[in-house]
Structure 1
Amino acid sequence: MDRVAMVVGARGVIGGNLISHLEREGGWRVIGLSRRGGADAGAVQHIAVDLLDPEDTVSKLSTLTDVTHVFYAAYQDRPTWAGLVPPNLAMLTNVVDAIEPAAPRLEHISLMQGYKVYGAHLGPFATPAKEDDPPHMPPEFNVDQQQFLERRQEGASWSWSALRPSVVAGVGLGNPMNLAMVIAVYASISKELGVPLRFPGKPGAYTSLIEMTDADLLAKATTWAATNPESRNQAYNITNGDIYRWSTMWPKIAAFFDLDTAPPLPMSLSEIMADKSDLWDSMVERHGLLPTPYGDVSSWQFGDFVFGWDYDVIADTSKSRRAGFHEYVETEAMFLRIFQDLRDRRIIP
């Protein structure tokens, strides 16, 4: 195996699916970094590391002399936009400071970003967003991270790439940004209580255009950009390739769970679902589900965030297609596949 991948943020939905893809693709030895670590298996080695601690990062990474590709997908959540900058920039800086002198064969550093680069989190933004759109007023850690890599890469033998997915969907527990899990648990609890599946977001969000990014598709795009010589030092929007409105997708989701729909009712999931822990525990026991703490199965705050977008959230992906990436995933099929996977794994009833 000539290629050695270091996946930073290995326990998240993006990092976990990337590791699975690298295993399927073959030809990679994989080192996964996370705060909790994990069990080694096959060509995958896990290392527990505190990336906010420069000394611990150097200690754990200094022996990884064979690393050729760094896939950075780590994230630290904070309650404010400004608060996100210091920890997330520090983690990336610590990783590069530790691995660059240790790994002489380093070829590429891949950075995971998102539509915050375009100001999607602030309000209605220019759509479809393009990779060369003008910047917006900071703070924004995604921008700071890319600028750090751009400066650091000058004169270096390695290159970088930046992937900008929309909302990422996949199977992963304990992740703060996993909309598929939010919907699956919300629907399961709705069914348990005998109530119809109501869209809980803002009225405008129900009819605005939105798109998703399948975690497996994103993994393919990430490795493509990291190994395609023409993608050196480039950023790419990566999405499934189709767009939709919740007004048409919501009834299809309800049908999967054998639920009726009812008119949307704006509500805070963070508030309305806060008292459902005991109900979830009883569902786990009654349906023979995988014992999973209620706090790990869903992030209601993230659901409120996405369902609050009462404006179009779409980006132009023609740059990646022109460069040679042509993968496509139908979003409706993606949702149903993820929901079925969650059932098969006994995470939801």
Structure 2
Amino acid sequence: MEHKTSETPVALIMGVTGMAGFSLAEALKDPAALGGPWKVMGAARRQTPPWFPPSLLDSYISFDALDTKDTHHSLSPISDQVTHLFWVALQVGPNEDTNISSNSTMLKNVLTTLTSSTPTSRLRHISLLTGTKHYMGPFDDPAFHPKGRAIPLELPFREGTARLPYPLFYYSLEDLITSYSPKLTWSVHRSSIIIGASSRSIYNTLLTLVVYALICRREGSQFRFPGTRYTWEHFCDVTDAGLLARHQIWAATSDGTKNQAFNCTNGDVFTWKSFCCVLAEMFGVEAVAPVDGDDRDDDVGGF
């Protein structure tokens, strides 16, 4: 199913310093990567972090995607080279309206620059990373999920499930990339909680729990699960960052995968109760359940 081409594919990873972006760069640089060998460019708002290995990318570009002029200035020199855009960038604001505005603006600025190159753009595929909020709604925005009123969930989550009646920046980004069809193909990758190696990602749940366990050991305190009792007792799943990266490359280079959305998880399920007991044993602390006051009627399976 591998897509065959005589051109050298050129990937631009937006958000390359994050957990998903870093793993994607590693996977694309693997000599066995589908569609390769790849030329890999990475972009982020900050300058190259000191921990980021320079050999992982052919070039690193720092710019503010919210700034139209900065985006055009930074990406115009490579706009006639990029064949695949991997969007793993994210900006989280205080509410969903802000999320929609900022994330849509960033993606629009980048796509406008990449598709307006002269004489012609080489861009042919957009890979968009979203997540299970697609099925759960903006549960962290009280304006759309007030305490005490749960969002009904239709399980299991299926790619063809109708959208929820809530504004969500995932929906806005999907609508934006599909508006470029049929000129460009696209794929959407809906992950669960992403775990992996990360030096700075604030969304690394696994690393957060490990650090918490170390603090508990240092302080001689119990390792009390920081979520709700519902989350502690019920099944959950995760997405390994390396698996997610290979999934994105597969969809971008294979026949029959274009213009589709995919759920992408490790495929196994667990409870945080069982996982935290394993983690507590590893670090020599006592794992205990959330206190009764942590129970909430509006819980949707997160921390």
| Alignment TM class, shorter chain as reference | 0.7 to 0.9
Once the two structures are superposed, the pairs formed by residues 42-81 of structure 1 within 5 Å of their partners are 43-64=57-78, 65-81=80-96
The equivalent residue for 1:3 is 9
Give the one of 179, 184, 190 matched to 2:205: 179
Give the one of 111, 135, 153 matched to 2:128: 111
Verify the 8 A CA contact 2:137 2:164 in the aligned structure 1: no
The equivalent residue for 1:94 is 109
The equivalent residue for 2:143 is none
- Corresponding letter in the other structure for 1:71: F
2: CA distance between counterparts of 1:228 and 1:8?
Answer: 21
Give the one of 236, 243, 252 matched to 2:269: 243
- Corresponding letter in the other structure for 2:186: W
The equivalent residue for 2:20 is 14
1: CA distance between counterparts of 2:103 and 2:288?
Answer: 40
Alpha-carbon distance change, 107 to 8 in structure 1, aligned in 2, over 3 angstroms:
same
Alpha-carbon distance change, 266 to 83 in structure 1, aligned in 2, over 3 angstroms:
farther
2: CA distance between counterparts of 1:214 and 1:186?
Answer: 21
Which string of whole-angstrom CA distances, capped at 9 and with x for unpartnered residues, describes residues 225-277 of structure 1? 11112111100000001011112211011122222223433789xxxxxxxxx
Verify the 8 A CA contact 1:201 1:266 in the aligned structure 2: no
Which string of whole-angstrom CA distances, capped at 9 and with x for unpartnered residues, describes residues 151-195 of structure 1? 1224x1x20000000010112133232111211111111111111
User: Is 2:197 the counterpart of 1:132?
Assistant: no
Verify the 8 A CA contact 2:138 2:168 in the aligned structure 1: no
TM-score, length basis structure 2:
0.84
Which string of whole-angstrom CA distances, capped at 9 and with x for unpartnered residues, describes residues 129-156 of structure 1? 00110111231000111011111224x1
Q: Over the residues paired in the alignment, what is the CA RMSD in angstroms?
A: 2.2
The equivalent residue for 1:31 is 41
- Corresponding letter in the other structure for 1:11: T
1: CA distance between counterparts of 2:75 and 2:215?
Answer: 43
- Corresponding letter in the other structure for 2:68: P
2: CA distance between counterparts of 1:202 and 1:78?
Answer: 24
5+ residue gaps, structure 1, are 269-306, 314-349
Higher share in helix: 1
1: CA distance between counterparts of 2:213 and 2:252?
Answer: 37
Verify the 8 A CA contact 1:198 1:264 in the aligned structure 2: yes
5+ residue gaps, structure 2, are 1-6, 140-150
Q: How many residues align?
A: 273
Once the two structures are superposed, the pairs formed by residues 158-307 of structure 1 within 5 Å of their partners are 158-265=184-291
2: CA distance between counterparts of 1:209 and 1:260?
Answer: 21
The equivalent residue for 1:151 is 179
Verify the 8 A CA contact 2:194 2:238 in the aligned structure 1: yes
The equivalent residue for 2:145 is none
Shift of 1:213: 0.2
Question: Equivalent pairs: percent with the same residue?
Answer: 31
Verify the 8 A CA contact 2:230 2:301 in the aligned structure 1: no
Verify the 8 A CA contact 1:127 1:312 in the aligned structure 2: no
- Corresponding letter in the other structure for 1:183: L
- Secondary structure of 1:206's counterpart equals helix
- Secondary structure of 1:229's counterpart equals coil
Alpha-carbon distance change, 167 to 124 in structure 1, aligned in 2, over 3 angstroms:
farther
Alpha-carbon distance change, 264 to 150 in structure 1, aligned in 2, over 3 angstroms:
same
1: CA distance between counterparts of 2:159 and 2:253?
Answer: 20
